Structure 1
Amino acid sequence: MSRVLFHKYEVLRTIGSGRTGTVYLVRDLNLNRLAAVKESTEEFLLAETELLKEVEHPGLPGIYDCFKEEGRTFLVMEYVEGMTLRKYLEKHGRVPERQAVKWAVDLCRILGYLHDRHPAVIYRDLKPENIMIRQDGRLKLIDLGGTLQTACGREKEAWCVGTPGYAPPEQWKQTQGDKSWDIYGLGAVLHEMLTGVHPVCNFYGRRPVGEYDKALCVSLDEIISRCTTENRKDAFSSIEQVEHALLDYPSERRKYLLMQRIKRSVLAFIGGYAACCFILPLLRGIPENQFPFPYLIKPLMVMILFILFSLFFSKFTRKRQFLRKQEKTVWLTEKKISGLFVSLLAVFALASGTCRERISSGTAYAKEEDQALWVEMRDTCERKLLLKYDAVYITNDKVRFELPAERLPTQELSVQIVAVGEDGEQYRSRIFHIKADGMESGSQ
């Protein structure tokens, strides 16, 4: 028998659960319509109800009812049909450039509406999981629980709200909301839409979108950079400025495409002229006293000019393919030691706050070149990680080091992990004894 809330809302299934409560899909038995019901503590939902009663925007869910039952508080809201931006990215990889800009403008208008209220409402947890794509292609922000404390005008909150990768560093140190936090989150979401790369996976830092796809307009890099910069002088001061920059994007893209056409035309002209300088004299015949010089002077000069122009243009548009492979490949390093014992050195440094962790690259050592120890480093998505020597990998979850049995240099091997803290103090794990067949193992 299905559960019925408040004698009128039949629970169909659980949509999701998060920090602020559990959300159910229900059917209103009186009006025969679908709705979303959030169940949570009274403090959260009563404040969120007060906020939703005052706001009216097509990009925010409407409120139908609020009631208490069995000591719990329930908020009945509009059910938004569609998929989250996270599911879209998992299915399609990334968002086409024009569509990503259009959705970013939609987000600017929703956030602008919240920021213009008195007192201002700071969303604080903008991420693909909280962005719904409706069936008509428009966006809605869901889960307003993170905004409620600021919206109610409290001077200080008891807890921080945010998600690593989508929140600026100062958000983990302060509980008072700031509009720049939403601007940062918008820049992080736009970058992920264009590249398909989760910000937590950017262990070299957030790279320009042009390094993932050179066809993307460079003006988008400037917008994302100004959204996510820690320098307040260079950052956007309001969400309206971000919207204006995005609306100017079509004209900037036209300029970018025009420059690309001019570049290709100039290079084609120089290349064709160099070919003519080389071929036409051959057709007429070259006197013996003019070969190789002065016959080759003009073709060589034009060819040098062609190379210089190519280098000049490629400086701004070159696509670095290795950056796109950094989430899928491991770079292994070697160093000499003696005996069968090997040490995997992982440097763990805790950054400020409670939600970020810095891990140095794992290195493998072996005695001889033909006895290299193969080590694979993977994230929680089971992807191999490419890490430069002495690079720092930023993560908010676990990292796994793997020793494939078929690649062990000897049949039996002993492994010990040594962790070095920021103060230089060493922490050693127990010694693990491994056999290549993977059937027997022990620990000491």
Structure 2
Amino acid sequence: MEFQKYEVLRQIGAGGMGKVYLARDRNLDRLVVMKESNNGFLLVEAEILKGLAHPGLPAVYDCFPWREGTCLVMEYIEGMSLRQYLDRHKRVPEGQAVEWAVQLCGILAYLHNRHPSVIYRDLKPENIMICENGELKLIDFGGALRCTWGNEREEVCVGTRGYCPPEQWRDTQGDVAWDIYGLGAVLHEMLTGANPAAPPCGKRPIMEYDKGLSRALDGIIQKCLANVPGDRYPSMGLLQKELCQYHKLKPWDRAWKTAGKLFLGALAGYTAICFILPFLRGIPENEIPFPYLEKPLIFLLITIVFNLIFFRWNHKKQCLCRQEKNIWLTEKGFSGLVSLWLLAAWGVLGMSAVHLTPPSLAKSETGELWVEMRDGQGRKMLLRDGAVYHTQDRARFELPADSLPDGKVSLQFVAVGEDGHTYCSRVFYLSGDRQVP
């Protein structure tokens, strides 16, 4: 298909409303979208969009008759539809979903505040585009209508099952409550991943899909989805305000999450202390790896179980964002935490293998003398240069017989106090002779 001004590159969509093509404006050298249709919806879309100017709406460049119908030339929006995003990621993180819902409120409020008001009527993920900068744009105004509040009525009901309120199929006059219902349905699907048009077609509370989602946010959604139009929000502006402040409606939801994060942080910190502190004080040889690792591993297990119970396993990625390059601490908080602790445990055991050598030795010019130390309970202690050992009862030093030289050995204990005074024991003798039977 060739035009004097436009070069059609490829077809990018088709449906009951007509066909959609990606084209290039020869004069301005820019990409555009061309819609071809032989019904009146395209003329309605052109008539509505030509009087609108909003960052969340596509611009109209041209409109002319083509064959037996009409061709509408519009702004080309780079990005993906919300439907494509949901197909890829299943759900949208709560914070991102609320942010996008607030953007949709702003776009729809602009339409509703026009004179006459414009009712979109067909809000669904397929008609919501996510730009490369994360901003949303609303497309496909073929089903939109102007509310004149007079005797004129539309003859055709437009909408999509699951995203439209019950009265929209009975009435054609149009009401802002229709778009409020549609926004609630879209927000519900973003948070749960459940398509409202698919059986069983019900919209259960969002906490049934994910207990980590806010009850206050579910209350807002359920009000949008009320069967009686009068029970819904009276305007998009009020709904937008509620979405911006939903975390303040029931503060105990946020307090519960904060307390959980603090408790998890305390568990992780205490686990780290259990790993490191005994190593710094000195670990008896017969306590490696157990019972030294017994307490740290128990608290590590408690930390993992708590994380599984109170926090979501997060596999979602931000739309059109670069992937995290750090393979240890990624958006998968649980797997990153486990990897970090496994790395820490491996490091501690590695240091143990290097530094927790058999009992200490005293070197001289003529040889080495091995000395073992035991606490009051008979457990071996590691002797390290400069370490301080606290004892409540007594400490025992042992000289393994196989480490003593042959012949008589003289020994004397020398203690140096903090005041610099030297205290010496009596000199005694040991014989290291080994008699062969």
Give TM class, smaller chain.
0.5 to 0.7
Change (3 A) 1:31 1:253: farther
Structure 1 residue 238: Cα displacement: 1.0
Aligned with residue 122 of structure 2, among 121, 125, 143: 125
Task: Give how far 1:46 is off.
Answer: 2.6
Picking from 2, 5, 10, the partner of 1:4 is: 2
CA distance in 2, matches of 1:153, 1:131: 30
RMSD: 2.6
What is the rounded CA distance, in whole Å, between the counterparts of 2:135 and 2:13 in structure 1? Answer: 21
Distance of 2:101 and 2:112 partners within structure 1: 16
In 1, the alpha carbon distance for the partners of 2:246 and 2:140 equals 30
Are 1:34 and 2:31 matched, yes or no? yes
**Distance of 1:206 and 1:187 partners within structure 2:** 10
Q: Following TM superposition, by how much is the alpha carbon of 1:48 offset from its aligned partner in structure 2, in angstroms? A: 1.9
Q: One-letter code of the match for 1:4?
A: E
CA distance in 2, matches of 1:152, 1:72: 30
Contact 1:47 1:149 in 2 (8 A): no
SS of 2:194's equivalent in the other structure is: coil
1:17 aligns with 2:14: yes
In structure 2, the gaps of 5 or more residues are 264-308, 312-437
SS at the partner of 1:174?
Answer: coil
The one-letter code matched in structure 1 to 2:95 is: R
Matched, 1:85 2:82: yes
Aligned residues: 266
Q: 1:201 aligns with which of 185, 198, 202?
A: 198
Residue of structure 1 equivalent to 2:400: none
The one-letter code sitting in structure 1 at the alignment partner of 2:217 is L
Q: Is the 8 A contact 1:227 1:236 kept in 2?
A: yes
- Whether 1:114 and 2:114 are equivalent positions in the alignment is no
Structure 1 residue 31, shift from structure 2 partner: 1.3
CA shift at 1:206, angstroms?
1.0
Residues 170-179 or 88-97, more deviating: 170-179
For 2:2, give the aligned amino acid.
V
**SS of equivalent residue, structure 2 residue 11:** strand
> Residue 327 of structure 1 corresponds to which residue in structure 2?
none
1:35-434 aligned at under 5 Å gives the runs: 35-41=32-38, 43-148=40-145, 150=147, 155-201=152-198, 203=200, 205-252=202-249, 255-260=252-257
Does structure 2 conserve the Cα–Cα contact (< 8 Å) formed by 1:82 and 1:134? yes
Counterpart-to-counterpart distance in 1, 2:74 and 2:60? 4
Greater radius of gyration (CA):
2
**Distance (Å, rounded) in 2 between the aligned partners of 1:95 and 1:153:** 40
Q: What amino acid does structure 2 have at the position aligned with 1:64?
A: Y
Unaligned runs of 5+ in 1: 267-316, 320-444
Question: What TM-score do you get using the length of structure 2 for normalisation?
Answer: 0.57
2:118 is paired with a residue of what secondary structure? coil
- Give aligned-pair identity as a percent: 55
User: Helix, strand or coil: the match of 1:58?
Assistant: coil
Q: Which moved more, 1:86-95 or 1:20-29?
A: 20-29
